[in-house]
Structure 1
């Protein structure tokens, strides 16, 4: 069963083009997706969720994060209503790009509390970002930093996503250094964790992770560490934007360990899987497309793979645009989608990151979101797009 597609509307606006011109863009069609999960899911699916900034706080945004806690938690309620889990305080929440560890811990505390009140799923990022990279002198410094954050998250009742460490990437010279850190940290966790391998396209400071420049060798190290600690690992999220590497790794993991796709370029086919297996999902793009993702996953669980691809397939061009290089600035597109779809009343981000993408980038995002049927209220989205363009010199 497909969601209804409504006729092309009479809505239009002027959008800038790559050649420097302006076009009159007419919105195509909109689709309406349920606001709550209908049916069941046969994949575990997390949305890595963004934070809503407080635009009226008296702070210097590049230096101090001001969070609108009510709207931030309300967005997580929206995700949970759709049957998705929340991956909290990850890079989508601008961890390390505007959100520091004390603010992240407060976010985790609030999110875990809200999830418990409704029996919802939330895992939260624990890393080493309170340890300045220049202050990390030894492997033991990295271990202690991980232990501190893990203890803090577990103290508030949270489950752990073990984030990649910039400090470890700096001082870890060999695969043995990585094995030492992960073996030690995983031996102490209260419940199985999700390990996040974040590629350097998302964070250049994570180049050569697992102690080698060679990705094939890095894969060997990661699989060895994970399988040696399988009892302590719920799953692994791979964010390399490399479909075949994810499939290869998935087939090498211990059978008890889930693969959570972090491939925002190829997620539809990876979640659908093949005759040898499939990936679960832990994706930043699921923040921007949560209603469509929920509905598509429910169709997959119902045995309607064609319906799954009919809904999720058209979202992929939008995701590839949002996550295009420099990939680390994808958060700007995620928050812009939240603004267009009414989940916040402003296009302001912690760290001033609303300026990280060009006017042309935002205009193309609008086109692709419209063509995928992802503008929940086209009239509102058009009005807000015009407002943003006006501040950038375009009379829309």
Structure 2
């Protein structure tokens, strides 16, 4: 089921959907930013067969009204819900993402290329055509019920934000947390949304038993940069308030400075660490700007639209840290880069952390996995069970 999410949440019947809306749209004629959106183009995905581009044939024509990119949500029934990885530079092995696509619209999001698998654009489509895994909690319950399930902390919302705006109505993340709380299963969350405060009633009791922790992404303290860089995420000051609220509730909270963009957000490193410390954060991690696949041209377009005066300088510095390329996906260097500039950033982060007596990247191994208990799964009642229930007897199993 697809429906517009225009903050009025009208329902759109399946048969009324515009088939053209499912296709990758033609990129806008100019690199003009749209209010509330991060990408300035709807770049085609790398799997598209047909190439579309704008062409001015010279005929006079009236100026077209700019296209309004409203948010549409497609409810989908997922077949699996837990993703596993063995990446040596990622601090978790299991993750869960209730949504595909993200309305926050962060131009740097490394998950953007995943929309190409859907035949959609990693550009404006990624932040306006979203997918909600409505059976996420049920799939998780089934997974945790398996006899051979091995308990390991689940990272929630690492690919796309589990607390993006549509979560306020759909509450898929909250339902997942309810299952994890029921099973005493450890979970770590990362978000740039203040909506996480809604679930303190679940997270605080779990944290008291070493079953929950949170991390808030802080990219910059400049609200003007944040408004274009991550247009529908919480403002920097609001995120700091969220850190304080979580910490006061007894939930271990860290800060992820991600991504560090040379000459754009990089000047804020020390100030972010100081502000995070004052708000109650206990640990800090960082990631240098990553530009995999379609993210690279999308980010370059964003630079030209918002920072034309320093676009070339930013990309030159990025390439200095990536072996002369826009991106190098090698394990061990993809998160922090290599070379003199990458080393300088590392030193600045480490010195700022030490100055405030904070810790570096937190480990999921600090969670308590020994409390796990399988969820109560109630099978459909058979004839025998129904008779027992009618007689007032309870089934032990």
TM-score tier after normalising by the smaller chain length: 0.3 to 0.5
Q: Tell me the TM-score normalised to structure 1 length.
A: 0.33
Return the index of the structure with the highest Cα Rg: 2
**Larger helix proportion of the pair:** 1
Higher relative contact order (CA 8 A, sep 6+): 1
